Structure 1
Amino acid sequence: MQLTLGPVFYHWAPERWRDFHYRIADEAPVDTVVVGEVVCSKRAPFKQDHVAGVVERLEGAGKRVLHASLILVSLPRERRQTRELMQLGEDEGEPAIEINDLTCLASLDRKPFAVGPFVNVYNEAAAGFLASRGARRICLPPELPLTAVAGIAAALPDVAIEVFAFGRIPLAISARCYHARAHKLTKDNCRFVCEQDPDGMPVKTLDEAGFLSVNGVQTLSQNCTSLLRDIPVLRRSGVASLRLSPQDCDMVEVARLYRDVADGRLDGAEAESRLAELYPEVPLANGFLHAVPGHLRVGAGA
């Protein structure tokens, strides 16, 4: 079972973003790394000067690199950038691009590509359509239950099916910037205040209970997905890869925990106990996989 490190959702300082990926290249036992700005196109120029160096470092360490599209393509500038991104060639028959918006298909010309968890692949028909257009890898939406995951994996044995296995759950994307609004700013003059919250801005109910996390135009869960204890059943269901979404914690150690459980060197329950220490004060959850509300934690010790 492979491990994929997803794109960084948050607006980290350029040097931090670069150094994070350098350490991933040198130390993390992941097979694939997704790079690129997926949430807000205004953030992309900050890291642009470091992308080539990051890709070179990752590929030099034996990692496969996927370049991700935006989740929501709306502005003429974003459409132009997306078309340019889709021109990237394949790598020895393997995809070099991960699409997060179906508008990307118009510019792909049936070359191999990967699909991110933001495309609504809810059944075998949708997955089959994408496979017919060239999809070689599909990261399923995090809200799918295990029965749907297993059904899609069984129907498409030649497509690498991936599940979202760690990180705050991406729930929605909007044209409005919640971060700017919270700071009484407009989206066009946001001053990039989202950089103040490297792990998202907490949103609480009127009763001060944790509810959601906001990342610019993106809404995330308050809870963090942990499928460490579910890895054996995911393997039996035909899942080829687990996706780890970068959070403001030691992602190298997170990757090592998932690698050790996937390789049978560590028990899932023990690994999850260690994970809670690595990422404290953030509730762990796996409810969606078990067909219950996503914020719940299901299984022994939950």
Structure 2
Amino acid sequence: MKLSLGPVLFYWDRNKTHDFYASMAEQPLDVIYLGETVCSKRRDMMLDDWLGLARDIARVSSAQLVLSGLTLVEAASELSSLRRLCDNGELLVEANDMGAVQLMSERKLPFVGGPALNLYNGHALAELVASGMQRWVPPVEASGQLIGHTLRQLDSLEVARPEVEIFAYGHLPLAYSARCFTARAENRPKDDCQFCCQNYPEGIPLLSQENAPLFTINGIQTMSASVSNLLADYPELVNAGADLLRLSPRAEGMEQVIAAFDAVRKGGLPPLAVDGCNGYWHGQAGMLRAEEAGLC
């Protein structure tokens, strides 16, 4: 089993971003994703900066480096930036929008199908494999049963399986909007947000009327309140056909998270339970833990 580090979903300044990846380059990771996937206004790091960072990481790490594109493309300027990303000429691209799939297919270049592409069956998967998708990251709400069924359906179509990369740790990216919720929380217009996302390195917790954690607000992105953690489900991840496990960056403690997953993939016993949620994996409400759903 390989371990991947997903793209940073939060907005960190340039120095924090460089410091984070400098520490990650020394970790036992097989794939490292770079790039901005949430908001085009986050411009501390531009394409040339990401490519330069990738070259720096490559000097000290053997991990495969991948450039991730935006998930919600709304403007001509964003489409132009996406074209430049797809034409980068150095790194594999993660397509998080069907526009990126089209651009990569036109160029006859391989790509990673990101979790926002909403692929839920073998027929849709086959179409993207034919377009050049060599790795599939299932939607974060997909259960182990759904993923297994989709792959068996793909096999029945006699289409070669792409690599399967499952989102195994981190705040789950659930939805995207044209509105910026972080700017709204600070009573700012989206067009004059003052980049206030940088004030919240792990987003803004959103509570229910009963003061229970419900979501995490991250700019235009709505995320899970709890961190999803599938470490205790490692045997089922293997049985479902996972080739890679994606660990989504957090502001603190990523070294410990990577070490825990690395120990289990090297033969250590997975824990009986972990902090965080894993309901989606078991076909239940995502915010639940398996033991709460009566599955343990």
Q: TM-score under structure 2 normalisation?
A: 0.91
CA contact (8 A) 1:117 1:141 kept: yes
Q: How does 1:111-126 map to 2 (within 5 A)?
A: 111-126=109-124
Matched, 1:11 2:11: yes
Q: Which residue number in structure 1 is paired with residue 53 of structure 2?
A: 54
Choose the corresponding residue for 2:235, options 232, 252, 263.
232
Offset of residue 70 of structure 1: 0.2
Matches within 5 A, 1:1-302: 1-26=1-26, 28-43=27-42, 45-48=43-46, 50-60=49-59, 61-89=61-89, 96-108=92-104, 109=106, 110-154=108-152, 155=154, 157-265=160-268, 267-269=269-271, 276=275, 284-299=276-291
Structure 2 residue aligned with 1:279: none
Give distance in 2, aligned partners of 1:105 and 1:192: 29
Q: Deviations over 1:43-80 (max 9, x none)?
A: 0x202364234201322210111101100011111010
For 1:52 and 1:88, how far apart are their aligned partners in 2?
Answer: 8
Number of aligned residue pairs:
285
For 2:145 and 2:209, the matched residues in 1 are separated by: 36
| Rounded Cα–Cα distance in structure 1 between residues aligned with 2:209 and 2:236 | 39
Deviation at residue 237 of structure 1 after TM alignment: 1.9
| Structure 2: runs of 5 or more not aligned | none
Corresponding residue SS for 2:178: coil
Task: Name the stretch that deviates more: 202-211 or 15-24.
Answer: 202-211
Q: C-alpha separation between the residues in 2 aligned to 1:90 and 1:186? A: 37
Greater mean deviation of Cα atoms: 201-210 or 160-169: 201-210
State the 1:187 CA deviation: 0.4
Structure 2 CA distance, aligned partners of 1:242 and 1:153?
17
Write the distance in 2 (CA, Å) between the matches of 1:142 and 1:287: 11
Provide the rounded CA distance (Å) in 1 between the counterparts of 2:50 and 2:89: 17
Q: Per the alignment, in what secondary structure is the counterpart of residue 242 of structure 2?
A: coil
Q: Helix, strand or coil: the match of 2:236?
A: helix
- Which residue is equivalent to 1:281? none
Instruction: Determine if contact 1:18/1:50 at 8 Å carries over to the other structure.
Output: no
What CA distance in whole angstroms lies between the structure 2 residues aligned with 1:249 and 1:133?
38
Shift of 1:298: 0.6
Which segment drifts farther, 142-151 or 69-78?
142-151
The one-letter amino acid of 2:97's match is D
**Residues 14, 50 of structure 1: 8 Å contact kept:** no
Q: Spell out, residue by residue over 1:107-162, the C-alpha distance to the aligned partner (whole angstroms, 9 max, x if none).
A: 22231100111110111111111101000001101101111111233435531011
Do the aligned residues in 2 keep the contact of 1:179 with 1:193 (CA within 8 Å)? yes
Q: Secondary structure in 1 aligned to 2:116?
A: coil
Moved beyond 6 Å, runs of 4+: none
- Cα distance 1:63–1:188, how it changes in 2: closer, same or farther (>3 A)? same
Distance across 1 between alignment mates of 2:3 and 2:264: 11
Tell me by how many angstroms 1:248 deviates: 2.2
Q: Give the drift of 1:249.
A: 2.1
DSSP 3-state at the match of 2:192 = coil
Which structure 1 segments of 5+ residues have no match? 277-283
Indicate if the aligned counterparts of 1:149 and 1:237 stay in contact, CA closer than 8 A: yes
- Supply the AA of the counterpart residue of 1:138: W
Deviation at 1:90, TM superposition (A): 6.5
CA distance in 2, matches of 1:40, 1:173: 10
Q: Supply the RMSD in Å over aligned alpha carbons.
A: 1.8
Secondary structure of 2:71 counterpart: coil
Q: Cα deviations across residues 1-45 of structure 1 (Å, max 9, x unaligned)?
A: 11111000111111001110111002x1110011001100110x2
Instruction: Provide the rounded CA distance (Å) in 2 between the counterparts of 1:241 and 1:185.
Output: 40
